[in-house]
Amino acid sequence: MHERLLPASPNWYSSRCSDTNDKGILAFGAKNTIYLVDVTASSSTVVGELVGHRERVSGFSFCQHAGQSHNCASTSDDGTVKFWDTNEKVLVKEHKTHQNTITALHWSPGEKNLVVSGDEKGIVVCYQYNTGESQSFFPEPRNIFCLSCSPHIWHYVAVGYKDGMIVLIDISKKGEVVHRLRGHDDEIHALAWAPLPNEEVLYSRVDDNTETTNGMTEGKEKGCYLASGSKDQTIRIWSTLKGKGVMTMKLPFLKRRGTGVDPAVKERLWLTVHWPKGKPTQVVSSCFGGELILWDLTKGGKQKWSLLGASSEGQNHSRIVFNMSSVCVQDNRELLLSTSMDREIKCWDLSSLDCCWTLPTLGGFVYTLTFSPVGTGCLALGVGDGMIRVWSTLSIQNKYDTKTFWQGIKSKVTALSWHPTKEGSLAFGTDDGKVGIYDAFSNKPPQVSSTYHRKTVYTLAWGPPVPPLSFGGAGDHLSYSLYSCAGEGLILQHDPWKLAGEATDIDRVIKDTNSIKHKLSPHTDLSWKPDGKVVAIGNEDGSIEVYQAPTLKLLCTIQQHHKIINVLRWHHDHSSLPELQYLLASGSSNALVYVHDLRTVIETPPESPVVMTEAYRSLAGHTAKITGLAWSPHHDGRLVTVCYDGTAQVWDVQKEEGLCNYRGHRGRLLCVQWSPVDPDLVWTGADDFTVQEWAVSKQEFTKPPKTKKTLDQKAKLKAKKKKKATGKGGAKVEESLSLIGEGNKGGASPAPGERPSDNEEEEEGSETTSISSVTGSTAVFVSIRLHPLQPLLRSVFPPEVSLKKRKPRSMLPLSTSMDHRPREDLQQDCLNLATVRHSEASPAHCVPGLGDHIQLGLFADRDALYRMFQEEEEGHVEAGHYESAVYLRLWKGDIAGALQVATEKGELSDHLLSVAPMAGYQVWLKTVDVYVKQLCLQEQFLKAASHLLSINKVYEAIDLLKSHQLYREAIALAKARLQPDDPVLKELYTTWAAVLEKDGHLSTAAKCYLAMDSSFDAAKVIAKKNDPVSLKTAASLAKIAGESDLSYSLSLRCAKDLASSQDWLGAQQLLSTHESLLAHRLHYCTIELLTVSLTGTDIVTWTCSSIHPWSGPCKNQDGFLATLRAVWERVFAVSPSNPEILKALHQQLKAIENPLTTPNVPMKQLLILLSLDLTLGAVSWLLGDWGAALEKLLQGVARGNEAGHFLLMSETCRLLFPQGIDSISEHKKMVDPSDEKALAAARSLEAFLCYQDLYHLWWSLSTNTAGAQRDMTNGLHSASENHINGLDGHVLLSEPHATCQATQRAIAEIQQRLASMVHQHSQTQETKDSPGEGQAERADTESLPCLIAMVSEHHKELADIPEHVKKYPYPDVLECCLVLLYLSKSSTLVPDHLKNEAVALIRKYGTTSLRKASQRFLS
């Protein structure tokens, strides 16, 4: 029906109140309506509305499944969830499962029939759209703020709460909680799932410290990332697979851009997030002042985020953003749509991050519209949201090109008027009586008149000056004055050049010029004739007065209307028929529009004022008060009118007939303007918060809808026409006839200033009422919310729908009803009462106060009154009006009885409790107890506890608060009223701490433990978080409290965590707080030195976050141990001169857990174990115990071999023995020759050195060409030959070690066979035996003794082997034999005696597989 439309503003403070579908339709909730906007990359068009909710829309969501995107759901404060078809724009179905205010909604993107909603009490409702079935879950007793269904796992729903908790529930398991995601401290405003169904995209970014094996992550389960935005100013990314946060982003503080924000408005933060479908590694969020930020989750630091709209000024929103959604359009461009508190909807291109277009919206009634007479097509809008919009309606590039003015207004804009000749000069009037002038081409604040009206400004008009401004001064040539008319009935004249000066009341000029002594009727509107010669003024009593300028001589008074004049308009003066310029149209609250021809009185001014009582034309059809008029500037005698009946009517005034009726608004129309450039276009504004442009030629209807009132109006007009006497100019002139007061016939006159602006719905409305608004052939009811601070004036609604003040319920309804009987019965009552009053005994047929004579109880004695009270009381109780029954008893003085009734019916109140002491102390105590129970049933626990205190039941009050989980209040009360050592206080702290600990609020739980002097528990609770910061805090707390052992263990735990994250500075700093942790400091020093020395190899692939200045690669020729000793002496003051300290350190280091090494140990753990061995070896060296030192060094070297990490073993040998076997020989010199164990350990070390040299030699020979081999052989021959020849078969090819290793292998093989046999036997026992199975079992049983005998034999052989051979690790001798044999085929470095010895050992001790591998050497 409309050409263009400015919609109402999207609702604020809702997590999801707008959404888009794949058809490019944006839908958003505004008040109780849902607007549909067709979105492209270049423009937007409002295409429809969904109407049906009775209160504010709180949520909206489209179905995102293919072919179903026209289906959508919405929630409202009216408690309903409604389902719509946007193609047909009709309501399909609804449900009312929720009993509380609904706060969140989402149509599942993973299941096309699932719609999930949540309310403020924590109830989650899952509704099946196809079947109409619903399920309710109660995962947490918290206020739900938002929720989001997973697009990948249909039964997962993330729920965000007011207190910062996020819960992931599984609705397929009756709402079971999968994860509780803790980290936010305040309201969760939005949740957004990642568009990809796994967590691999960001895995390397968010989980750097996770150990991997062979580059593969363990397990096949894949989760999905979830983004959350909170009032605590952070965005968090959560892993739903691990149930924890993996990334936290703090909002940056940005410099406010643009000028469209009022600094006096302190708005709260709303942090919404959106995860675009086409950007799996990027998240969009709002910021403090309306900025939008694109976060790149794969980057860090300042490059992590980018600002949308940064390319030019003025692109961003100027207030906080509430909702975002995206849609893909042609060319695969993804557009982001955002709604904001600045009442603008913006569209962003996510590829360029620039704003494509802006759709302005309106946040209040549209009170006034006016086109600039100078700037063609420039339309000014006065809106109830405290802002002026100036709309360039002829803009080609942007059809919604608007500029907003808010400075200096701070109230509803109720009147506007452009200067007739000065371009950009716009006068405005407000609801609080302010008058000012804006320069539309400047960003400066407006000039404001120093003279304020006491009430709402209704009309502004520019006109020629009247005295005293018309007199002027020296050099003053004022062309136009500004006139303002307001609700108190005054018209003030303002000097636009001197607004700081006092404005003048034109009533003084009117009185002086026309010698009027009496008080003038309050004025309600004024209109200057375009030529400026006369002005028409409308009054509150319905009269219209026409004055001649500049003296304001009264020419005539029009006594046609009988109600307040709302609007006056003169016909334009460029008509083809000159006589039409004298037509004055007027509208009032009686729904009729009158047009008067004033040509006679203007062209030939009478000597004395005339009175006109007949109209030139009468336009009947509207059914409510007229609020606006506008003559078409393109036609002769064509008028458009707007009315509270919800329609706009175009009239042919000459023919008195309707041409077109527009019914596109869903509320009462308040203003109208005809397009200055297009004869077919009209603009209207209404209290539905919209401005609509519509074409006259496209309307279906020609007249307003017919109602009973329309028919009555037509009948009255016909009756008037019969009596009409025509005179010159079509009007009857009656001189000096006053009809003042006729407007009051049939009822009281309205109070001054009653105008349409007295009702308004802003974002925070209060009460609601309904008025009939005709939008078709039938009447529908539109909800209108009334401002809580403004009374509902009688002129707002027609008499048939006026709101009357509700009469209070009578205390004596039965006796009152007896006064409405026939007159004969009432007179008989008088006779009966006289008989009773003048007789000694009451007549038997008449007992005052009872039965049919209950009404006489009020006029007889007190006993009769009490009888009447008794019957009235019974009637109140029967009707459920217990409060009235209680008051009757109070009136009798029966306080105990009143309390009894209130107690039985649960109607006790503070007032009754205050009078309870008058009935006695015990009654008061009992009443308080009962009232406390009543308050508990009403969930007013704090109030109940306070009343318990009034009767000195302190413990009961504390227990009441505690039983309802109000621990904070209970503790406050207990500390205020109980002794510090009272056990109740300790119990409260203990109970609350347990609850806090369970909910994850560990810091507060720790405070509880500290309050009851349990520092040990406080430290343990803080340490539960198990991150370095918490552990450090817990350790410090324990140390302050004197819990040295706990502080010791916590410091050690924290240091381990810091070391695992390679923060060596932090680890050493923490350990230094305890002298008893010196051994661990030495251990960590060794780890740090070893890690730094191995950096750059394939062993250490990570980077250290912090290292000490003394840590660096080992450059000392004496090796790693010498470097370590120098650092210990310099940094930790550990030297051989303090043997007692060294012994204590050795004992502490031995106490550290040192498990055996397996092939699956992670590298970081392996380095920690290796460092412990080296630390023990170094301490033993400082003590002079070289035997123990060699044992520990051997254990460290062997760890690499046991873990299967040859490179680590080789690098360890290089660091410890830089001179190779010569270094070991130097160490052997320090050993006592009689110490066999030490010498055996040295031989094992030599063997490991030769073992790694052997492999290096083999690899180097196999990877070089023949020429390179010769060169290398010449260079390596001497060293290698010395290693191989010089050993003479006693190191690598040690037969005792070969014997020991072969025996151990044989025992392990037999034990494996035994274990397999036992396992097979246990499986056989579990099943029913078959004959074949029985034979197999007997065969196994027969072989069991043989295996046991073999094991015993091998153990005897093992016992004969020397102890030092079995104790110390040694390279695999047969493996060395095999390598030597392979090496002998490609090199001459292997002597024949070593080759022969290797062959002999393989033949003697080799297994079947080993012999097979060396077959060609054995043949």
1387-1406 confidence digits (pLDDT tens) = 667 777 778 888 888 888 88
Neighbours of 195 (CB within 10 A): 18
The structure's pTM equals 0.57
pLDDT digits (tens, 9 = 90+) for 1327-1372: 645 444 444 444 444 477 887 888 788 788 778 788 777 788 888 8
Highest mean pLDDT (candidates 662-671, 713-722, 1250-1259) = 662-671
Q: Please give the C-alpha separations between residue 485 and each of 586, 751, 1059, in angstroms, as whole numbers.
A: 16, 16, 79
Give the integer Cα–Cα distance in Å for 1345 and 958: 75
pLDDT at residue 754, rounded to an integer: 38
| Whether pLDDT at 248 is above 80 | yes
- Distance in angstroms (rounded) separating the CA atoms of residues 414 and 427: 11
How far is Cα 86 from Cα 75, in angstroms, rounded to an integer? Answer: 16
Q: Per residue in 818-854, pLDDT tens?
A: 888 888 888 888 888 888 888 877 676 788 888 888 8
Residue 137 pLDDT greater than 90, yes or no: yes
445, 408 Cβ separation under 8 angstroms: yes
Q: Which two tokens stand for residue 711?
A: 């028919």
Residue 619, token pair as written in the block: 């336009």
Instruction: Dump pLDDT digits (tens) for 969-1007.
Output: 999 999 999 998 899 999 999 999 999 988 888 899 999
Lowest mean pLDDT among 435-449, 541-555, 797-811, 1241-1255: 797-811
In one-letter notation, the amino acid at residue 1078 is: L
Residue type, 300: G
pLDDT score at 215: 35
Give mean pLDDT, residues 596-613: 93
Kindly indicate the confidence band of residue 1059, based on its pLDDT and cuts at 50, 70 and 90.
confident
Q: Residue 1243: which pLDDT band, with cuts at 50, 70 and 90?
A: confident
DSSP string, 473-519: -TT-----EEEEEETTS-EEEE-TT-TTSPPEEHHHHHHHHHT--SP
CA distance 510 to 182: 74
Average pLDDT, the chain: 83
The mean-pLDDT minimum among 27-36, 50-59, 126-135, 829-838 falls in 829-838
Residue 1198, pLDDT score: 86
More confident residue, 1113 or 1091: 1091
pLDDT at 1276: 37
For residues 898 and 1416, the model is more confident at 898
pLDDT of residue 213: 33
pLDDT of 287 higher than 80: yes
Of 697 and 1374, the one with more pLDDT: 697
d(CA 824, CA 1418): 143
Locate all alpha helices (DSSP H) within 104-239, ordered by sequence: 203-206
pLDDT band at 304 (very low <50, low <70, confident <90, very high): confident
- Residues 888-925 pLDDT 10s: 888 888 888 888 888 888 888 898 889 889 888 898 89
Tell me the percentage of the chain whose pLDDT exceeds 90: 45
Q: Which residue has the higher pLDDT, 673 or 1058?
A: 673
> Does position 676 have pLDDT exceeding 70, yes or no?
yes
Q: Tell me what the mean pLDDT of segment 66-90 comes to.
A: 95
Q: Among 340-354, 439-453, 870-884, 947-961, which is the least confidently predicted range?
A: 870-884
pLDDT band at 379 (very low <50, low <70, confident <90, very high): very high
Q: What is the mean pLDDT of residues 509-534?
A: 94
C-beta of residue 670 within 8 angstroms of C-beta of residue 365: yes
Average pLDDT over residues 571-598: 93
Q: How many Å from the N-terminal Cα to the C-terminal Cα in the chain?
A: 104
The whole-angstrom separation of Cα 184 and Cα 159 is: 13
Share of the chain above pLDDT 70, in %: 85
> How does DSSP classify residue 701?
B
| pLDDT value at 794 more than 50 | no
Mean pLDDT, range 1411-1419, rounded to an integer: 68
Of 646, 675, 640, nearest to 663 by C-alpha is 646
pLDDT, tens digit, 9 for 90 and up, residues 1181-1201: 888 888 888 888 888 888 888
912, 946, 953, 967, 1342 from 942: Cα distances, Å: 19, 6, 14, 11, 82
pLDDT digits (tens, 9 = 90+) for 1135-1159: 888 888 888 888 888 888 888 888 8
| Per-residue model confidence (pLDDT) at position 1075 | 84
Sheet containing 388-392: order of strands: 366-371, 378-383, 388-392, 402-405
The predicted structure's pLDDT at residue 1230:
78
**Rounded-to-integer distance, Cα 644 and Cα 772, Å:** 9
- When comparing pLDDT for 1215 and 658, which is higher? 658
Does the pLDDT value for residue 738 go beyond 80? no
DSSP per-residue codes, 1353-1376 = HHHHHHHHS-HHHHHS----HHHH
pLDDT score at 782: 35
Largest CA distance in the chain: 155
Confidence at residue 255, expressed as pLDDT on a 0 to 100 scale: 64
Q: If residue 1404 lies in a helix (H) or strand (E), which one and from where to where? A: helix 1392-1405
- Does 468 sit behind a cis peptide bond, omega within 30 degrees of 0 on the bond before it? yes
Side-chain-side CA neighbours of 658 within 13 Å: the count stands at 21
What confidence score (pLDDT) does residue 1025 get?
84
The predicted-structure confidence for 404-429, as pLDDT tens digits, reads as follows 999 889 899 999 999 999 999 999 99
Lowest mean pLDDT among 93-107, 611-625, 1261-1275: 1261-1275
What gap in Å lies between CA 43 and CA 41, rounded to an integer? 6
Q: In terms of pLDDT, which residue wins out, 1098 or 365?
A: 365
Distances in whole angstroms, Cα of residue 1263 to Cα of each of 880, 1281, 1395:
103, 20, 23
Mean pLDDT of 61-90: 95
Amino acid identity at 263: P
pLDDT tens for 309-345 read 988 888 899 999 999 999 998 778 899 999 999 999 9
The whole-number pLDDT of residue 883 equals 86
Highest mean pLDDT, choosing among 197-211, 251-265, 677-691, 1319-1333? 677-691
